Amino acid sequence: MGCGVSLDDFGTGYSSLSHVHRLPLDKIKIDRSFVSDINDNPVSYKIIKSLTGLCDDMEIACVVEGVETRAQLDTLRRLGCDFIQGYYFAKPMTAGAIGDYLAKERQRLDGAEAKVVA
């Protein structure tokens, strides 16, 4: 088991491309604010598409936060996001509930390409 560095809420607040350049990042977590209207707002779609491409070019894993619908999930899969997380998969739960949740998710996702980050 190792340690990695993730840049959270990328694209909002004080996040900056200079962090991508300066820090030894393993993951960039794209803020949920871009996901909520990804299928209705071409700008949100293009931002996530561009950030996914940046992550790919920089060999940094891309985590997209805030997925709440199947349509969002399908779009993000098409864009090639490495990791997808959000209430579509699960809301916060106790440690004891995680084992059952993971078993059910494996069946529900049918071998989805993107990995679940709970």
How far apart (Å, rounded) are the C-alpha atoms in residues 24 and 70? 33
Q: Give domain status of residue 71, yes or no.
A: yes
| Domain assignment of residue 104, given as a range | 6-116
Tell me whether residue 1 is in a domain. Answer: no
When divided into structural domains, the chain yields a total of: 1
Q: What pLDDT digit, counting tens, does each position of 42-71 carry?
A: 999 999 999 999 999 989 999 999 999 999
Average pLDDT over residues 83-103: 90
* Angstrom distance (rounded) from CA 12 to CA 106: 32
User: Could you tell me the CATH number of the domain that includes residue 66?
Assistant: 3.20.20.450
Confidence of residue 38 (pLDDT cuts 50, 70, 90): very high
- Residue 88: inside a domain, yes or no? yes
